[in-house]
């Protein structure tokens, strides 16, 4: 993969990677995404093309078969996919879930899984954190993993586990010490790598996956776990420290999702701009009316500002500096910008915004997710209020 920087300070970073991703995405036009959306089908060909081109291994170090690129390169890849009208949600998680193995796994674990993920033979796309009783309140999760000799016996249920049907492995967060017995409230949870294919195969498998039909094509599921045995060797890091490891990965997740929002915003702005220029009403382009121009211009300004925060958060992350506030603000601002752009684009299209063939309604539904997942807007605001502004904890 060729990578360089431009002398123009306004030019987007990673220009070669961006151009190559755009060329790949051109093979997957609106019709492709529309057809998959209609059927709620997994975009297998797109994920394979992305994998074969090495993009999903961008962040895996060269020593384990990846490209060893910085987070900003992964952000550029995801942004361009969304900017081209596609959706990286079918596979984006692998970019940040593998970071948990990379940062906290043993050398043996890294050698066992990362080269396979980098080569595309193994998919680590499922991330089992949320449960029916714990979404925002992760520490309230009820799935347990009880140690029995050299194994853990796992019992519980996950929900919204996206891509579980299309993944070989799942990163699972489960409680190994009851909440009442931990010294600090963030302790007592552990992270495991679960071999999903083995766990769901054969007669009476310990793991059952049930798809959830949603307003977007997201391959999300419920995962029922009953008597799953996980070898101790498949636990990442220390027992009881899993929440900390997951939090470490969440900054990367927030920055990458923010990059997708930027891509969505750019798609909406360009689509709205083009339509506003072409559509004639009362004998002149609708874009000549300030009532049509201004929401698009405002969304553009919001997107430019959000991009600065995404870049800053990525730069801090790459420098190994703690970046919780910036990663959260990047996600908040970029999700708000993409939602403002979505609203402006739909409104600009009038009735045609509702027609499937324009792709606006699909992208509108897709970008709405980012006000809620992977973390809701309210929870980001609560984090900033408490941890940055030193206001009293609200929950």
Which residue, 190 or 271, has its beta carbon nearer to ligand FAD? Answer: 190
> Does 135 sit near ligand FAD (CB under 6 A)?
yes
> Does 188 sit near ligand FAD (CB under 6 A)?
no
Stretch that binds ligand FAD, among 51-59, 125-133, 339-347, 385-393 (CB under 6 A): 125-133
How many other β-carbons are positioned within 10 Å of the β-carbon of residue 112? 16
Which residue, 153 or 379, has its beta carbon nearer to ligand FAD? Answer: 379
The kind and range of the H/E element at 156 are strand 151-159
Q: Which residue is nearest to ligand FAD (CB)?
A: 135
Pull the structure tokens for residue 328: 């959260």
Which residue, 101 or 129, has its beta carbon nearer to ligand FAD? Answer: 129
> Does 386 sit near ligand FAD (CB under 6 A)?
no
Stretch that binds ligand FAD, among 21-29, 144-152, 249-257, 368-376 (CB under 6 A): 368-376
Q: How far apart are CA 150 and CA 345, in angstroms?
A: 56
The answer to whether residues 192 and 198 touch, using CB atoms and an 8 Å cutoff, is: no
How many other β-carbons are positioned within 10 Å of the β-carbon of residue 147? 13
> Does 282 sit near ligand FAD (CB under 6 A)?
no
> Does 130 sit near ligand FAD (CB under 6 A)?
yes
The kind and range of the H/E element at 33 are helix 30-39
Alpha carbon 130 to its chain centroid, in Å, reads 14
Q: How far is the CB of 377 from ligand FAD (least distance, A)?
A: 7
Q: How far is the CB of 212 from ligand FAD (least distance, A)?
A: 8
> Does 378 sit near ligand FAD (CB under 6 A)?
yes
Q: How far apart are CA 377 and CA 158, in angstroms?
A: 22
Count residues contacting ligand FAD (CB under 6 A)?
A: 23
Q: What does 291-350 look like in DSSP terms, one character per residue? A: HHHHHHHHHHHHHHHHHHHHHHHHHHHHTT---HHHHHHHHHHHHHHHHHHHHHHHHHTG
* Bridge partners for 218 per DSSP: none
Q: What does 16-49 look like in DSSP terms, one character per residue? A: HHHHHHHHHHHTS-HHHHHHHHHHT---HHHHHH
> Does 242 sit near ligand FAD (CB under 6 A)?
no
- How are beta strands 284-285 and 221-231 bridged, if at all? unpaired
The answer to whether residues 99 and 191 touch, using CB atoms and an 8 Å cutoff, is: no
* Bridge partners for 296 per DSSP: none
Which residue, 246 or 341, has its beta carbon nearer to ligand FAD? Answer: 246
> Does 347 sit near ligand FAD (CB under 6 A)?
no
* Out of 376, 383, 385, 386, the residue judged to bind ligand FAD by CB under 6 A: 376
> Does 42 sit near ligand FAD (CB under 6 A)?
no
Which residue, 92 or 235, has its beta carbon nearer to ligand FAD? Answer: 92
> Does 152 sit near ligand FAD (CB under 6 A)?
no
> Does 166 sit near ligand FAD (CB under 6 A)?
no
**Which residues are at the interface with ligand FAD (CB under 6 A)?**
127-130, 135-136, 160-162, 214, 218, 220, 369, 372-376, 378-379, 382, 394-395
């Amino acid at each position: 993969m060729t990578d360089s920087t431009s002398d123009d300070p306004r030019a987007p970073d990673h220009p070669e990677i961006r151009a190559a991703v755009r060329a790949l995405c051109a093979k997957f036009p609106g019709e492709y995404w529309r057809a998959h959306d209609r059927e709620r089908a997994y975009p297998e060909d797109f994920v394979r093309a992305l994998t074969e081109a090495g993009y999903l291994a961008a962040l895996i170090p060269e020593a384990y078969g990846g490209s060893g690129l910085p987070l900003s390169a992964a952000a550029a890849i995801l942004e361009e996919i969304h900017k081209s009208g596609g959706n990286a949600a079918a596979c984006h998680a692998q970019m940040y879930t593998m970071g948990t193995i990379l940062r906290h796994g043993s050398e043996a674990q890294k050698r066992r899984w990362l080269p396979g993920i980098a080569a595309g033979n193994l998919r680590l796309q499922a991330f089992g954190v949320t449960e029916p009783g714990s979404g925002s309140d992760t520490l309230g999760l009820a799935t347990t993993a009880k140690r029995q000799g050299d194994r853990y016996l796992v019992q519980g249920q996950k929900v919204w586990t996206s891509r579980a049907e299309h993944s070989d492995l799942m990163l699972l967060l489960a409680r190994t010490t009851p909440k009442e017995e931990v010294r600090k409230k963030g302790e007592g949870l552990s992270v495991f790598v679960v071999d999903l294919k083995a766990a769901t195969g054969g007669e009476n498998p310990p793991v059952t996956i049930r798809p959830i039909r949603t307003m977007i094509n997201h391959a999300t599921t419920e995962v029922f776990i009953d008597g799953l045995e996980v070898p101790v060797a498949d636990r990442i890091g220390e027992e009881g420290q899993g929440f900390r490891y997951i939090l470490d990965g969440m900054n990367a997740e927030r920055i990458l999702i923010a990059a997708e929002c930027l891509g969505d915003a750019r798609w909406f702005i360009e689509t709205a701009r083009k339509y506003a220029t072409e559509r004639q009403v009362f004998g002149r382009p609708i874009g000549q009316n300030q009532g049509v121009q201004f929401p698009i211009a405002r969304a553009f300004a919001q997107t430019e500002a959000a991009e600065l925060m995404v870049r800053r958060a990525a730069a801090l992350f790459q420098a190994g500096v703690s970046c919780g506030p910036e990663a959260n603000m990047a996600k908040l601002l970029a999700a708000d910008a993409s939602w403002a752009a979505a609203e402006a684009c739909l409104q600009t299209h009038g009735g045609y915004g509702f027609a499937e063939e324009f792709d606006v309604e699909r992208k509108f539904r897709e970008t709405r997710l980012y006000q809620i997942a992977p973390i809701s807007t309210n929870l980001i605001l609560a984090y900033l209020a408490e941890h940055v502004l030193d206001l009293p904890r609200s929950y």
